[in-house]
Structure 1
Amino acid sequence: MTTSERPAGHRHPRRRRTAAVAAGIAGLLAAGVGIAYTQNADAGAVSCTVTAGQVWGDRYNTTVTVDGAKSWTVVVAMTAPQKVASVWNGAATWGGGSGDIMTVKSDGKGNAFGFTTMNNGNGTARPKITSCAGGSSPAASASVTTAVATTAPAAAPSAAPATAASTPPTTAPAAADITVNTATTFQTIDGFGAAVPIWGTGWSTAETRTLVGAGAGQLGLSIVRTGISPVSSEWATQVNALKAAKASGSNVKILASPWTAPAAWKTNNSRTNGGKLKSDYYDDYAGHLNDYVTYMKSQGVTIDVVSIQNEPDWKPEYDSMEWTGDELRTFVRDQGSKIKNTKLMIAEGVNMNYGLTDPTLNDATARDNTGYIGGHLYGTEVSGRLKAYALADQYKKPVWMTEYNFHEAAGDTSTAWADGGNQAVWDETLDEVMRTVNKSMESGWSAYVWWYGKRYYSFIGDGTAGTTSGAVLKRGYAFAQYAKYVRPGDQRIALTKSTKASPLEVTAYRGDGKIKLVILNRSGSAVTNAVIQAPQTVTKAEDHLTSKTANEASQPTSINGAQVTVSIPARSISTLVITA
């Protein structure tokens, strides 16, 4: 008997779903027969009717109608290797060992939802409903009873009910060129940024807003790097710029890096040409770094990350100080806890030098005092270290690339830097700078920080080499394709590419209810009508493009169910933002 037929006080005996029942359901779905599931829910009887929909060669539609509750949860089990390609009129999440359990909750768009399933070589299996419940939690499978409809529907509908707010694809989905997989996740993004001048005056408030703001003509940087002078009277220099960065941007982090300790504390008695910190001054140095954090806080600036040393494996003729990996471990182990209200970073080596960071990671106390692993990109790729840092990943320490500067496309006084259409400058921007951002993200790193944000070869001009001070340069627009759209807290997710999309270098992210793909096309050919497969029905898609002739320009998109079609010009970088 169904729930509506029960006499008062009658309780239906609990029945477990058997393998035979599950097999029968799959067969009925394959035949397009309606299947009803009923259960006793708090809001009264809730039933789910499953109807087979339109079938194509490589995929098929299924519609589920829920009766008896405005708020509902349905659990669907898929048969590998089949995968759900899109869902409409419901909010779906995936679980199970290979993402083969789909839980769909009501999203206010009606009492019916549908989904498209890719066969992936298995054309006979059909999904199994394992739970149908009112409310936001699935019912236990043991309490679900089944009643099979005796007749098939007169015609299998090819779309969701007319009253639904959204509909499935009106044309057969195309073969995808890029398929986003939200079930497989990687690193959480901390941000993309640049440094204020380490020596000299800071950015103006207007310049800071251009660099960290997220509006039109702004670049969206979310990390600002600054120096810690060995002379405390110089700390005030960057206060205004750092305050403006915190006020003008969203979730902007400040990274403070010292180039040297005071000269009297060093073995060479000099700020420059390297030299080591004397061990009997370790506690003084910890106090010095802590005093800097305290001072900045008193000025209204939170210092989120403090590095122990900039490039401890380099001794140039400017401010510098040398450390070995063992010395860094000893300092962080014994003194790290004295630097409060911030997180510590080691070691900002020239080329992500593991010898500087492994000792700290391998020491439990030093490791616990460390928040981040940092390194620079000079020679890192050649050294084979532009890749995942296994030891840092093992101990869940985010890796930041905290400095890179490459500008060999033209001379230091050449006006080519001010020419947005200069081929050599654009080629360097795309093939060196943007390529290494993409590689850093693929390596699982959480941040990429360029050298100075304001310089003739950088993101905004400094008034030299023909540039206008404060005006956005081509390299800034290109960098914003990451910085402005991939925000702190976003998580990188997996994707697969077709042969057609193989020339593209792509990373995908999810956050704020959106999916973002940064697409780098360094090839000499456009990839036209590339089909992006999202995990759910797409309600909005925005594509922004920077090329030699365009600056973060909007591009046309076409939406079909859970697919978005875009064209990617040759020698370009674009960001596709998808709202499901």
Structure 2
Amino acid sequence: MTYKRTLAPALLIALLTACGASTPTSTPAAPPTPTLVVTPTAAPATSTVNGWLTTPDGSKRLAAQTLNLKSGLTASTNDLTIDPATTYQTIEGFGAALTESSAHLIDTLPPTGRADLLRTLFDPTFGAGLSYVRIPLGASDFALSSYTYDDVPGGGADPTLANLSVTRDERHVLPVARAIRAANGAVRFMGSPWSAPAWMKDGGVLEGGRLAPTALNTYAAYLTRVVTQYAASGVPLSTLTLQNEPRFSTGAYPSMALEPADAARVAVSLASGLRDAGQPTKLLGWDHNWDDLGYARALLGDPDARAALAGTAWHCYAGDERAMSDVKSAFPDKDVYFTECSGGGWATNWGANLAWTTEHLTIGATRNFAKTVLLWNLALDPRGGPTNGGCGNCRGVVTIDPATGAVTLNEEYYALAHVAKFVRPGAVRVASATFGAGNVQSAAFVNPDGTRVMLILNGSGGARKFNVIEKGRGFNVNLPAGSVATYVWR
């Protein structure tokens, strides 16, 4: 059935048109009412398939379907097959970043509206079921101002870290993170620092520069204490990246260069510190774009760093998703996480954005071994802020207007919901096919309860009819051009 509810007056979630990443194909129609229509994720019967469809014109958004399972099907060239016996990575979750800007905007909503929004984002039954959240540790380019957890005024230093405290994050970030855990107890958190405190850096400022060679162990101790204080605050970090975008140092906002040799030393010291502190947080290297395989190879090529690291993290802004498979092939015992990508005002077609995000991230990244798919800001305002010196026209998964309390679910919300709502943490990706020179693409998963999930994109210019088949048993699909669909069956 379809569950429909009208949200609290302070939280009118408008399912509006937004943006796209390639040539516009149609103009999305505005929805008639500011209500959210969602479908409970009840388990399908053994003879049926539960489906959800989103079309590029926005007229259908996670629209529920029921299909019949049939036996005696034989796969042809233009059918999609699934083979649960061929398994790949275990999925840890899908989500976005809780920047200080995002947390601040969520906090502008009244309590009922805030609770409704978090349910819409994180509740796996009635919302998108997002299950993984990345948190910048200290200020990023989306914060209310620049800070770290041990800032010393006047050019001083704190080598014993006596003044280190995450109290600043109690303003917005930590309370919202705890509320997210209340909305979905399965949510995991990842921490990513943008900069060490200025007194640890060669230039003495947060904006740009590099970590001083004499501060490598101090920085590792700093991060260990941050992880420990976060856990004590009720937000344990399952994963921690060593440095956000370590090859992009800018004077515009907190950032820091960290080359592989130094990153390796930080990793070894940090792993030891976390172990001694009793923190099970896994460490990830790189956390930067697909176009630079050399950094990840150099870092994992260091035997001591390789032992300290669980894997690597990746962003979308240059290169393509196949880079993750290349590194996975070279280091098969190390995991791959996809951790950042943003939509924005540079792409203005709703349906094309939905298709791009599905093709390259929720399908593309997972087919290249990503255990997570995380977008950038969870929420931004209508002007793409508040910003702290970075992107001036980025788009959040949702848009919150602090003046009115209105919330818009953007195309990224639906792209994430098509997997996060149905593919639960602990699911395993399994083999599935594509056809039509890659125009019809899929990613398939088996949930811990045994249910099968297939995410499909029809990236072609016309409707496609085909079967989805598992060992002679399957169902018929008729998918409109540019549409995204998810199917769940036993």
Fold conserved between structures, TM > 0.5: yes
| Corresponding residue SS for 1:533 | strand
Greater relative contact order (Cα < 8 A, sep 6+): 2
| Residue of structure 1 in register with 2:458 after alignment | 521
Matches within 5 A, 1:7-86: none
1:573 and 2:471 correspond: no
| Residue of structure 1 in register with 2:199 after alignment | 264
**CA distances 1:126-159 after superposition (whole Å, capped 9, x unpaired):** xxxxxxxxxxxxxxxxxxxxxxxxxxxxxxxxxx
Cα shift at 1:270: 0.1
| Residue of structure 1 in register with 2:442 after alignment | 506
**CA distances 1:243-283 after superposition (whole Å, capped 9, x unpaired):** 122222252110111110111111000000x2111122222
User: Which one of the candidate residues 97, 122, 125 is aligned to 1:212?
Assistant: 122
Q: 1:329 to 1:497 in 2, by over 3 A?
A: closer
| Residue of structure 2 in register with 1:447 after alignment | 372
Contact 1:434 1:478 (8 Å CA) reproduced: no
Contact 2:240 2:283 (8 Å CA) reproduced: yes
User: Which one of the candidate residues 200, 209, 222 is aligned to 1:288?
Assistant: 222
Q: Distance in 1 between matches of 2:102 and 2:378?
A: 14
Q: Distance in 2 between matches of 1:448 and 1:296?
A: 23
1:227 and 2:136 correspond: yes
| Residue of structure 1 in register with 2:294 after alignment | 355
| Corresponding residue SS for 1:306 | strand
Matches within 5 A, 1:406-485: 406-409=343-346, 424-432=349-357, 434-455=359-380, 456=382, 457-463=395-401, 469-485=406-422
| Corresponding residue SS for 1:532 | strand
Cα shift at 1:478: 2.5
**CA distances 1:266-312 after superposition (whole Å, capped 9, x unpaired):** 1000000x211112222221121111111112122211111111111
Contact 1:509 1:515 (8 Å CA) reproduced: yes
1:535 and 2:476 correspond: no
Q: Distance in 2 between matches of 1:357 and 1:387?
A: 10
| Corresponding residue SS for 1:321 | strand
Matches within 5 A, 1:74-153: none
Cα shift at 1:485: 1.2
- Provide the identity percentage: 26
Q: 1:339 to 1:502 in 2, by over 3 A?
A: closer
Q: Distance in 1 between matches of 2:459 and 2:445?
A: 21
Q: Distance in 2 between matches of 1:201 and 1:431?
A: 27
Q: 2:453 corresponds to which letter in structure 1?
A: K
1:245 and 2:180 correspond: yes
| Corresponding residue SS for 1:361 | helix
User: Which one of the candidate residues 82, 98, 106 is aligned to 1:180?
Assistant: 82
Cα shift at 1:519: 0.3
Q: Distance in 1 between matches of 2:297 and 2:303?
A: 12
1:314 and 2:244 correspond: no
Q: 1:489 corresponds to which letter in structure 2?
A: G
Q: Distance in 2 between matches of 1:314 and 1:497?
A: 36
Q: 1:172 to 1:334 in 2, by over 3 A?
A: closer
Contact 2:358 2:364 (8 Å CA) reproduced: no
| Corresponding residue SS for 2:244 | coil
Q: Computing the radius of gyration over CA atoms, which structure comes out larger, 1 or 2? A: 1
Q: Distance in 2 between matches of 1:180 and 1:225?
A: 31
Q: Distance in 1 between matches of 2:72 and 2:339?
A: 46
User: Which one of the candidate residues 352, 363, 367 is aligned to 2:306?
Assistant: 367
Q: Give aligned pairs, total.
A: 369
Contact 1:332 1:360 (8 Å CA) reproduced: no
Normalized against structure 1, the TM-score is what?
0.59
Structure 1 unaligned regions, length at least 5? 1-87, 90-167, 411-415, 417-423, 537-561
1:402 and 2:402 correspond: no
Q: Distance in 2 between matches of 1:279 and 1:172?
A: 66
Cα shift at 1:192: 1.2
Structure 2 unaligned regions, length at least 5? 1-45, 48-68, 108-113, 139-147, 150-164, 383-394
Q: Distance in 2 between matches of 1:475 and 1:434?
A: 12
Q: Distance in 2 between matches of 1:493 and 1:192?
A: 17
1:325 and 2:260 correspond: yes
RMSD: 2.7
Q: 1:174 to 1:358 in 2, by over 3 A?
A: closer
Q: Distance in 1 between matches of 2:264 and 2:237?
A: 22
**Which contiguous aligned blocks of 4+ residues in structure 1 show a shift greater than 6 angstroms?**
none
| Corresponding residue SS for 1:275 | strand
| Residue of structure 2 in register with 1:277 after alignment | 211
Cα shift at 1:513: 1.0
Contact 1:373 1:392 (8 Å CA) reproduced: no
**CA distances 1:165-188 after superposition (whole Å, capped 9, x unpaired):** xxx96x853545112111211221
